[in-house]
Chain A
Amino acid sequence: MSRMMGELFQSSPLLIWPVISLSIFLLTFLAVLVVTLRKKPGELDPLAALPLADDENARQP
């Protein structure tokens, strides 16, 4: 496996860039996932209600 990877990198040294960027992606995404899942129930309700309480005038008659 590691030999295959080594060969792959040798044939295409720039491959390191997508690998780095993929790692950043995975780490950030995991962080977002953890933070989001650790929210207590109800904590996000005010945010979810934002679109419903925005306009006082434009109600359909």
Chain B
Amino acid sequence: MTSAVSAQEKPLVEKRITYNDSIARWFVGASVGWSLVALLLGVIVALQLAFQGANVHPMLSYGRLRPLHTNAAIFAFVGNMLFAGVYYSTQRLVKARLPSDTLAKVHFWGWQLIIVSAALTLPLGFTQGKEYAELAWPIDIAIAVVWVVFAINFFWMLANRAEKHLYVAVWFYIATIVTVAVLHIVNSLVIPVGLLKSYSLFGGAQDALVQWWYGHNAVAFFLTTPILGIMYYFVPKAADRPVYSYRLSIIHFWALVFVYIWAGPHHLLNTALPEWAQSLGMVFSVMLWAPSWGGMLNGLFTLRGAWDKVRADPILKFFAAGVTFYGMATFEGPLLSIRAVSGLAHYTDWIVGHVHSGALGWNGFMAAGMFYWMVPRLFGTKLHSTRLAELHFWIGTIGILLYMVSMWIAGVTQGLMWRAADSEGTLVYSSFVETVIAIRPMYYMRLIGGLMYLTGMIMMAYNLFVTAKSGAPVDGEATVVVPEAEPEVKWSRLIAGRPVIVSAVVLGLLIMFGRGNVLTSVAFLVLLVAVGAGALFIEAISKRSAEPTWHRLLEGRALLFTVLTVGAVLIGGVVQIIPAVLIAPEKAEEGGETRLASPLEIAGRDIYIREGCYTCHSQMIRPFDFEAKRYGDASTIADSRFDHPFQWGSKRTGPDLAREGRKNPNAWHYLHFMNPPELSPGSNMPSYKHFETGKVDFADTESSLRALKAVGVPYSVEQVQRAPAAAKKQAETIVKDLAEQGITVAVDSEMVAIIAYMQSLGLPPEQEAAPASPTQVNASGLR
């Protein structure tokens, strides 16, 4: 397949090229290393949920480690894995060497640096408080830069290709690169308040929509599409036979890319989101089942007639199981998107189990299969031990199954307990902690599953290490037919090349799009489409000038596909959320007045975000009777209007806090934060003793309020200026109330600020956040 003709009118020559495989070796090494870190963090947070005492230090408590675990798994483990797979397979599929080794190095080291800075900042409490997008704004900028570097190198490689057909895997990679860039930029729009602190541009329902549009599509385009590309390359290679149906793969690609981006709102079912957006999300999620299973069957059928090989080869076993887990996860996903099912499953551990069947089963096993296949080839040797790999497979599989089963039981149990009511309609389990205690055995079972999976990965790391040691680096080679004297890529060409310019223009337009109002946004969208169409037109013209050979037509079509993908993903994804995003503030206004948080409460909310309380607590009461009984009236869009970022949450390891204000006295909160299990025996909420010693600088509240004012929270100039004084005054009333209960805390302690925030949640606008009425508190708890 190296006979493709180039479009240029230069004489053709045969040439030997040597691929840049060292970049693949590095990324594999990094991925294997980080996978152990990510999984170890997973085991630690699993232990912390089962055993509260495992929260040994403020920096290592659950709320801070959980974001680190998810970020490490997604961006460090899977990220490095997908870069390895993309670089290795694309060079071979398009018969072109990576154009710039320097850019590849920048990509590799830049990405590792980002991961290391995440590992430092998250435990220190620097976070944006939005799931899977927690990293502080300077790191976000670094991610954008590194991603663009990756994109330039990748598209440059495509421009240089000697194989004019683009294999389906490459389409998946293209969709990944383009979409992730868009998602990342839109979701990272923030107003910086300090070097590592910022408030998101969007607030409340708007922010929720953008966040879950991002979160959902991050799963789609970071954890799914690139891995599907990897599947379409490595499964045929490992099985030594072409994909079952190439036709199906084309349909799979288009259907998946289109449908996926529309399904985002299924994360916000039964919330204050507009009805039609919820229905749309549900319908598309159910539709998503078809392309997902098309892809799964295509992968599995590729192994048809090779089942004897699967029995003997751990690589094929990993691929077969990985694809099967993909099928399971994509069956469960649409199911969970049905409103009624979501009503039961949302906020519970069922969702956690669902995610892990994807992460451990699909991502983890596809990674393992790819590594076992690649590493011996990258080092010109044989796998050290097939039996050890075989053992890894079985221990990993049992680990995942334990994980999924335990989380399913835990989720369904807790979901049912939350809604259980007797014949009079009173809640059977009115104390939340009862529902925590009930599922504790499942938490231990999950821990065992996770430990088994980690053990398997350690075996893999050892096996691959010894394999690499026993060989020496080998770079793949191929003979290609290219125009004579294809010049080395120069920096000037690299920067002024068409792909770079087009991507820069598109990126710029996108930023404008994200920043604009209705009219300008639409204008920029039209412009975006125009740029895409223009690029297409130029492409078509430049093709027509040469003789239209069969190859050239196909080549044109491949590029057409590329441009169409870009357009399709952007249009579908961006347009869908615009109406809801634009209408949200209006709807919120209609919903009535919203209380403005006081400066001290804002300081408390900063602490809430820093500690990752949102990883265990939601602030979104759904419109169900049993939720109203437990937590109070259903949340409205107006309630969270001024929350930048929104704090709706996605998991209730602890109770909803949307209407926590005045439920408990200040002294109760104090004792609870000092040691939750003492007030609520069986609680797995970490202790926050450091709130007593941590200090709030009242002077900082002024810049916080100013930033919030800048993103649209209606503070008056006077309120901003007087913020420090107001904060101090409010703190003094709380200190006084606590003193009456015999508790002494400093006025500027974090304890006072967080209590002020707790007492403000869900209060109607006109009320002052005065201390709750003093009530006798004792160690056995009040409620």
Say yes or no: A18 contacts B564, CB within 8 Å: no
Which chain B residues in 469-494 approach chain A with CB under 8 Å? Answer: 474-479
Say yes or no: B382 contacts A61, CB within 8 Å: yes
Interface string of A17-55 (1 = CB under 8 A from B): 110111011001100110011010000111111111111
CB distance from B40 to the nearest CB of A (A): 31
Question: Which of chain A's residues has its CB closest to B564's CB?
Answer: A28
Say yes or no: A50-B165 contact (C-beta < 8 A), given A12-B276, A17-B579, A21-B575: yes
CB distance from A2 to the nearest CB of B (A): 17
Cβ contact of A51, chosen from B21, B167, B276, B474, cutoff 8 A: B167
Among B27-35, B246-254, B410-418, the stretch in contact with A: B246-254
Give chain A residues whose Cβ lies under 8 Å from the Cβ of B274: 12
Looking at chain A's contact residues, is the secondary structure mostly helix, strand, loop, or mixed?
Answer: helix
Say yes or no: A12 contacts B583, CB within 8 Å: yes
**Residue B761 at the chain A interface, CB threshold 8 Å:** no
Cβ contact of B579, chosen from A15, A25, A52, A53, cutoff 8 A: A15
Say yes or no: A50 contacts B163, CB within 8 Å: yes
**Residue B240 at the chain A interface, CB threshold 8 Å:** yes
Q: Count residues of chain B with CB under 8 A from any CB of chain A.
A: 53
Question: Which of chain B's residues has its CB closest to A44's CB?
Answer: B246
Looking at chain B's contact residues, is the secondary structure mostly helix, strand, loop, or mixed?
Answer: helix
Cβ contact of A28, chosen from B89, B568, B579, cutoff 8 A: B568
Interface string of B498-532 (1 = CB under 8 A from A): 00000000000000000000100000000000000
CB distance from B48 to the nearest CB of A (A): 42
Say yes or no: A54 contacts B242, CB within 8 Å: no
Say yes or no: A36 contacts B377, CB within 8 Å: no
**Residue B121 at the chain A interface, CB threshold 8 Å:** no
Give chain B residues whose Cβ lies under 8 Å from the Cβ of A50: 1, 93, 163, 165, 167
Say yes or no: B575 contacts A36, CB within 8 Å: no
Cβ contact of A58, chosen from B240, B241, B377, cutoff 8 A: B377
**Residue B356 at the chain A interface, CB threshold 8 Å:** no
Say yes or no: B575 contacts A51, CB within 8 Å: no
Say yes or no: B242 contacts A49, CB within 8 Å: yes
Say yes or no: A52-B240 contact (C-beta < 8 A), given A15-B579, A47-B165: yes
Say yes or no: A60-B477 contact (C-beta < 8 A), given A12-B274, A36-B251, A46-B165: no
**Residue B44 at the chain A interface, CB threshold 8 Å:** no
CB distance from A52 to the nearest CB of B (A): 6
Say yes or no: A58 contacts B474, CB within 8 Å: yes
**Residue A10 at the chain B interface, CB threshold 8 Å:** no
Say yes or no: B246 contacts A48, CB within 8 Å: yes
Say yes or no: B258 contacts A29, CB within 8 Å: yes
Say yes or no: A57-B476 contact (C-beta < 8 A), given A47-B167, A50-B163: yes
Which chain B residues in 151-207 approach chain A with CB under 8 Å? Answer: 163, 165, 167-169
Give complex CA distance A2, B237 in Å. Answer: 53
Give chain A residues whose Cβ lies under 8 Å from the Cβ of B167: 47, 50-51
Which chain B residues in 240-292 approach chain A with CB under 8 Å? Answer: 240-243, 246-247, 250-251, 254-255, 258, 262, 274, 276, 280
**Residue B706 at the chain A interface, CB threshold 8 Å:** no
**Residue B92 at the chain A interface, CB threshold 8 Å:** yes
Give chain A residues whose Cβ lies under 8 Å from the Cβ of B380: 58, 61
**Residue B95 at the chain A interface, CB threshold 8 Å:** yes
Question: Which of chain A's residues has its CB closest to B236's CB?
Answer: A51
Say yes or no: A57-B477 contact (C-beta < 8 A), given A21-B572, A50-B93: yes
**Residue B362 at the chain A interface, CB threshold 8 Å:** no
CB distance from B607 to the nearest CB of A (A): 37
CB distance from A8 to the nearest CB of B (A): 7
Say yes or no: A21 contacts B576, CB within 8 Å: yes
Say yes or no: A39 contacts B247, CB within 8 Å: yes
CB distance from A6 to the nearest CB of B (A): 14
Give chain B residues whose Cβ lies under 8 Å from the Cβ of A22: 262, 572
Say yes or no: A54-B564 contact (C-beta < 8 A), given A12-B579, A44-B246, A49-B242: no
Give complex CA distance A48, B89 in Å. Answer: 14
Give complex CA distance A21, B280 in Å. Answer: 13
Question: Which of chain B's residues has its CB closest to A17's CB?
Answer: B575
Say yes or no: A36 contacts B93, CB within 8 Å: no
**Residue A14 at the chain B interface, CB threshold 8 Å:** yes
CB distance from A25 to the nearest CB of B (A): 5
Give complex CA distance A44, B576 in Å. Answer: 34
Give complex CA distance A61, B254 in Å. Answer: 38
**Residue B745 at the chain A interface, CB threshold 8 Å:** no
Say yes or no: A53-B1 contact (C-beta < 8 A), given A28-B564, A29-B255, A44-B247: yes
Cβ contact of B575, chosen from A20, A46, A49, A52, cutoff 8 A: A20
Give complex CA distance A44, B247 in Å. Answer: 7
Question: Which of chain A's residues has its CB closest to B578's CB?
Answer: A17
**Residue B449 at the chain A interface, CB threshold 8 Å:** no
Give chain B residues whose Cβ lies under 8 Å from the Cβ of A14: 518, 578-579, 582-583
Which chain B residues in 568-601 approach chain A with CB under 8 Å? Answer: 568, 571-572, 575-576, 578-579, 582-583
Say yes or no: A29-B579 contact (C-beta < 8 A), given A21-B572, A44-B246, A50-B167: no
Give complex CA distance A23, B640 in Å. Answer: 33
Give complex CA distance A47, B168 in Å. Answer: 9
Say yes or no: A15-B276 contact (C-beta < 8 A), given A32-B250, A49-B1: yes
Say yes or no: B478 contacts A60, CB within 8 Å: no
Give complex CA distance A53, B163 in Å. Answer: 12
Give chain B residues whose Cβ lies under 8 Å from the Cβ of A49: 1, 242
Say yes or no: A37-B247 contact (C-beta < 8 A), given A45-B242, A54-B93: yes
Say yes or no: A46 contacts B1, CB within 8 Å: yes
Give chain B residues whose Cβ lies under 8 Å from the Cβ of A17: 575-576, 578-579
Say yes or no: B572 contacts A56, CB within 8 Å: no
Cβ contact of B254, chosen from A24, A32, A37, cutoff 8 A: A32
Say yes or no: A51-B237 contact (C-beta < 8 A), given A32-B254, A58-B377: yes
Give chain A residues whose Cβ lies under 8 Å from the Cβ of B232: 51
Question: Which of chain A's residues has its CB closest to B249's CB?
Answer: A48
Q: Which one of A14, A22, A24, A25 has the greatest number of beta carbons of chain B within 10 Å?
A: A25
**Residue B381 at the chain A interface, CB threshold 8 Å:** yes
**Residue B233 at the chain A interface, CB threshold 8 Å:** yes
Say yes or no: B377 contacts A60, CB within 8 Å: yes
| Interface pairs (25), CB distance under 8 Å | A12-B274, A14-B518, A14-B578, A14-B582, A15-B276, A24-B572, A25-B571, A28-B254, A28-B258, A28-B564, A44-B247, A45-B246, A46-B165, A47-B165, A47-B246, A51-B232, A54-B92, A54-B95, A54-B478, A55-B476, A56-B476, A58-B378, A58-B474, A58-B476, A61-B382
Which 8 A-B pairs rank lowest in CB-CB distance, beginning with the nearest? Answer: A14-B579, A54-B92, A48-B242, A21-B575, A48-B246, A44-B246, A57-B477, A58-B476
Q: A25-B568, A28-B258, A51-B92 are in contact. List 9 more A-B contacts (CB 8 A).
A: A18-B280, A32-B254, A47-B165, A51-B89, A51-B169, A52-B240, A53-B1, A60-B382, A61-B380
